[in-house]
A and B are shown apart, each in its own frame.
Chain A
Amino acid sequence: MSPFSGLGRQWSLWSLSTKALAIIAVPLAPLLLTTLIFYVTDRREREAQAATTRSAEISAELQATFMLVVEAETGTRGFLLTGDRAFLEAFTQGVALLPGRFQRVEALVRDPDVRERLGIFHELVDRRMFKLASVQKSPRVPANLALLAEVQEGKQEMDRARAAMRELVEMERALLERRRERARQFQQASLAVVLTGAFLGILGGIGAAVLFSRGIVHRVRHVHENTEHLAASQSLRAGPDGDDEVAALGRGVHHAAELLGERDSLLRVRMDELAVSNNELEAFSYSVSHDLRAPLRHIAGFATLLEKRAAGRLEEQDRRYLRTIIDAAARMGRLVDDLLSFSRMGRSEMLRTPIELGPILDEIIAEEMREQNGRTIEWTRRPMPGIVGDPAMLRVAFSNLISNAVKYTSTREQAEIEIGTAGPSNGEAVLFVRDNGVGFDMQYVDKLFGVFQRLHPAEEFEGTGIGLASVRRVIQRHGGRTWADSMPGEGATFYIALPVETKGTI
C-alpha cells in the first residue's frame, strides 16, 4: 500500500498538464511497445524471407554446379568413346563457368559449417575436373581401357562429389528450417507480447479514464456543484482537495462565497438602516400632515372670522393685512400638501404593471376642463405607447405637467396644448407635453426641476414650485429621464423618456 499512497500524494501535487500527460502516457505506452514489436517482427520477417531465398538460391546453384560437372564428365566420356572433340564442349563450358558459380555460392553462404563443407565440395569438384582434363590428354590408348578406368574412378569420385553436394543442400535446408522455426517462435512470442500489450493498453485506457474521471472530472464537477450552491445561496461542500488548477478553482469559489457572504451582511445592515430611515420619514410625514396643518387652519379660520366680524370697523389697510394673513396661511397649506405628495413619490412602494396612458390622460384633461370654466383650450392628444410602471405615480406626473401647461397658457386667448410622442428610440418611449404659453428662458432650464424653484413670480402665476420636482422624481424612479425646451414667449415643451418593455400603441 505504501508505494501507492506515496504515489497518490504525488498525484495530488501535480498540475493539470502533468496529470494529463500521465493519463495519456498510460494507454500510450503499450501502444508504443506494440508498434516497436511490429517493427522488429517485420524486420525479422524480412530477414527470414531473405534467408529462405538465399537458401533456395544456394541449393539451386549447388545443383547447377554439380550438373556442370556431370555434363563435363559425360562430355569427356563421349570424347573418349568417339574421339570427337565436339563432346569436349560441355567440359570447356564447365571449366569456364564453374569458378563463377562457386564464387556466387560462396558469396551466398553465411554459415561457417556450410562454408567448410562448401570448401570440401569445391575441392572435390576441382579434383574431378582436373582428372577429366588429364584423361582427355592421355594418348589414345585402347579407348575401352581408358574409358573403363575412367568410368570406375569417375563413378566413385562423382559419388563423393554428389554426396558432398547433397550434404550441403541438406545442411542448408536444415539451417533454413531452423531459422524458420526460430522465426515462427519469435512471431508467436511477439504476438503474445502484442496481445498482452493490447490488453495492457485497454486496461491502461480504462485506468486512465478512471483516473481522469476521479482525478479531474469528478473534482471539476465538485467545483461546478459549488458554483450552483453559491448561486442558490446554499452552503458549499468543502474541497476539492489538491494542489492543481482545479483545487485552486475550487478555493476561488469558496473565496467568492465568503466575499458574497460579507457583502450580503453589509447589504442587510444597509437595508435595515434604510428601513429605519424610511420609518422615520413615514412618522415625520405623518406628523407634518397632521400637526402642521392644524395651526394653519386656525390662523386662516380665525382671521377669516375676524374679517367677517370686523369688516365694517376696519380700514382698507387693516383689511389688506388680514387678507395677507389668510392668503399666506392658505399658501402654506398648499406647500405642505405639495411637499407631502413629493415625499410620498419617493417613499411609497412602486408598482410595475402595464399601463394604458390614454384613459389616464383623458381623465386629467377632463378634470382640468371642469376647473377651467370659460377658457378656450385646444387639446391635441396623440396615441401613447404601452409602458410599464406605477399608475398612481404616473398620474401625478402627468397631472402636474398638464396643469402647468394649462396654468402657463392662461395669458393666451387660445391655448394650445399637445400631448404626444417623439417615437421610441433604443428602448425608450419619449413623450412630451407642449404648450403655447409664456415659455421660459433656457438659461435657467437646470433650475426648473428643482424643489420649490420657480421662474415666474407668484403674482403672475401661482404655484409652489414643486410640481416639476415631483415629475422628475416619479420618472427617475421609473428609470427614465426628464428635460425641457422653450423660448420665452413661444411656449414650452416638457419631455419624458421612459424605458419601454412592451410595444404597442393605445
Chain B
Amino acid sequence: MSRQGLLEREEPLRSLQAARGRAETGGCVALVSGEAGIGKTSLVAAFTDTIGDRSFVACGRCDALFTPRVLGPAHDIAERHGGALKRALDSNAGRPAVFAAFLDMLRAPNNPVIVFEDVHWADEATLDLIKYLGRRIGETRAFLVLTYRDDELSARHPLRLVIGDLPRQHMVRVELRPLSLGAVEQMASASGAHAQGVHEATGGNPFFVTEILASGGGISASVRDAVLARAARLGPRAREVADLTSVSPGGLEIGIIQQCVAGADDGIVECESLGVMGTAGRVLRFRHEIARLAILDALGEQGKRLLNARVLEALRAKDHPELARLAHHAEAADERAAALEYSTAAAERAAILGGHREAAQHYTIALRHADDLPETEKGELLEAAAWEYQMTGRAEEGLKARDAAIAIWHRRGDVEREAACLGRMSGLLIAVGRNPEADMAMRTARSMLEGIPVGPTHALVYRYHTYLRMLERDVAEAIADGEKALVLARRHGDLESEMNVLNSLGSSLLVADDERGYEHLEASVALARAHGRDYHLANAYGNLGSASGEVHRYRRALGYLDAGIEFCAQHDLDGSHQYQLAWRSLAHLHLGHWAQAAEDAAAVLALPAATAISRIMALIAMGRLRARRGDPGAWQALDEALALSAATQTLQRLAPVRAARAEAAWLEGEDSAAAREAAAADGLARAKRHGWFVAELAYWQWKGGKAVDVPEYASKAFAWQAQGRWKDAAEDWRERGCPYETAQALAEGDTNAKLEAVRIFDELGARPAAERVRKSLRAAGVRRIPRGPRASTKAQPAGLTRREVQILGLIAEGLTNAEVATRIHISPKTVEHHVSAILAKLGVASRREAIRAAQNREVSPM
C-alpha cells in the first residue's frame, strides 16, 4: 500500500494533529468516520506516523466475527504492550480491574495515543470501556482515536448511545469524504485509465479506485468484482494463502498459514507484493475488510467449511487460543460438538467481563447445537442463557429459555430446581413490568416448595416474593414474608438474597412510615460495602432516597441521594443514577430549591434511553414545578407522566402523578377537575392502605370541593388539612422543611396566616398559588395585601451583569481597582473595563456617583 501522501486528507490530518495538541492540556477523543473503504485506517496510520518516539502509541481493533471478542481491542493492546493491563486480563480479574488498568495507561505522562479501529463492530464491554474512558479522559493527557463506519450504524445501534455520551468539550469529529474527480485523475495518471469513468463507477471511494486501477483490467461493476479481478492475478499458492486467511476476520497468524499451506512463504510474499494483503507483527491480514469478504464469498459453502475446519484445528493447538475465534470457526466449519463447547466457554468468559450481549449471542449458538446434551447440562445451559437474555433486554427469549429449563426439571422430578427456575423467571417478568405473571410464577414456586425441607431454594424464592410484594406495595405481606426471607437467606449464606431482602424489607417499612426501615437499609449498605457489591450498594442508596421521599422525609432523602448519585457517577451505574437524580429533583422541589429541582429533572429528561420509572418521576417533578411557577409546559410533562404510569399500573407511580395533576388543575382554578384527578387513584391507594397517598389524594378531593372521608391511618399533614386543622399541618410541614406546603396550609387559615402564605409564595415565585390567596383576601375585604415580589431588589434595572454587580459591590466597600482585581482573581485591566461599563450603564461619571446611584435603585448583589 503506497502512502506517498494521501490525497485530499490534509484537513482531516490537521484536525487530528490539532486535537492531539489540545489533549496535552486535557485529554481528548477523536471520532473518525466514513463509509467502508474511505480510508480511515490509512488516515490514522498517516497520523500515527507523525508522532514522535516520545509518545506512547497503542492500537487495537474490532473484528467482524459472528460474535465479537469481548474487550478485543484491549486484548490486542495488552498482547503488544503487556504491563498491568495484560495482568488484569490474564488473571480473570473482572471488569473493574481491567478498566482501571486501562485508565492508568491513559494517565501516563507521555501523552499516550490509543486507537480503536472499527468500533461499529465493538462488543458491549468495549463500548462500556469507551464510555468509561470518555467520561474520565479530560483528566488525562491522552488522545483516544475511534474509527467506525457511519453507514453501518442503524438508528438504534448501541455505538450511537456511546457517542452521544461522550463529553462534547473533549471530542472532535473527523468525517472522511469520497475523492474528487481531480484526485482520481491524479491517481489514474500513471495507469492511463479513464479517470472520469473510474470516478463515476466508484463514487470516489478510495479503496474501490485503488482496486480498479490495480487490477489493470476494465472498470468493474462493483468493488467485489474489482477485488476478484485483482486476486485473479495471484499464483495458485498465493491464492491458497488468500483463501485461507479470508475465513479469519482480523487476519491469521503466519505460523498457522505455514502449517496449513505447503510452501506458504512464497505465497505470502506474493500476496503482499501485489498489495492484496499486508503483515502486522506475525499476522497476515487483508488490506481491507471489503477485500476479505469478496475472497471469502468466492469460496462457496463447501470451501468455507473446509478452510474453517483447518484453521480451527490449527488454533486448537495454540497455547491460549481466543475463545471467540474458536467458537467462530467451529460454527463456520459446522463442527457441532466444538461449536457447543467453545461457544459455551466463550459465553462464560464474556459474562465475567460484562460483555452480556456477546454472552447472549454465544449461548444462542451453543443452544443450537445442544440437542444431544445430557438433560441436566442442557437445563443449566438454558438457565445461563436466560440470565444473559434478561441482562440484554431480550425478555421473550429469556422466558422461552426458562420455560424449556422448567420442562426439563419437571421431567426429571427435580422440584427444587424447578422452583428455583420459576423464582428467577418471576424476576425476569418483574424486570419487564409483567407483575401479574410474575406473581403467578411466584405462587407456583412457593406451593411447590411446601412439601420440601427448607433449603437454599426457599431463600431464593422468598426473596423474589418479598421484592414483588414490596413493588406492589402490599406492605404487610412484604414485611411478614421479608422477615422469613431474611432468616432463610442468612441461614443458607445467600448474600445476594440477604442484601436484596434487606432492601425490600427496609423499603416496605419505610413507605409505611416505620423508621425501623432505616436499620435494614443501612445494614444492606454495610453488607454491600463490605463485600464490594457496587450494584447493590447503589440500589440501597436509591431505596433509601426514594422511600424517604415517598413519605415526605425530604431532608433525609437528600442526604442519601447526594451520596448515592456521586457513587453511581464514579462507578458508571447509569440505571440507578437516573432514578436517584429523578428523586433528588423531587426532594429539591419540596424543600423549595426550585432551581436545583429543574436542573436535576432536566438532566434525566434529556437522556434518550432513561428507564421508564426514572422518566416518570422526573416528569412529575418538572410538571409540578412548572405548575407551581405558572410556567408553560406543565401539562405536557404531566400528560406524558400519566401515559407512562398507566402502562405500569403501580401505585407508587399512579398516585404521585394524579396528585401532581390534581394540584396543577387546582392552580388553574379547575377545582372539580382536581377532585376527579385525585379520585382516579384513590381506590388503589385505599386498597393498599398507603397512609401518605391516601391522605394526599383525600386532601385534593377536599380542595376540589368533594366530600371525602379521611381514614384514621391517613398520614398527618394532609389528613389534618382535609379536616381543617391548618395550623397543626403548617407546623408539620415547616418541620419537614417544605415551604410551599407550609404556605398551602397557611392559605387555608385565618387572615394573618393567609398574609404569611402570600409572603412565602411570593418569595418562592409561586405565582398561581399567590394569586389565588390574594383573590380570597380581596374577596374577604382585606385591604393591605403586599403587592408582589419586589423586582427592584431582585434585578439590576440598568442591565448590569452579575460580574458588574459583584464589582460594584466591592467598589462600594471602598476597594480600589487593584484590590478588586486581587480579590476576584482577574486582571486590573479587566476590572477597569468593567468599571467603565458600569458607569455607562448607570449613566454616571464617577465611582462615587455610581455607588450612590446604585444605592438609590436598591441594586443588590445576587
Q: Do A and B bind each other?
A: no
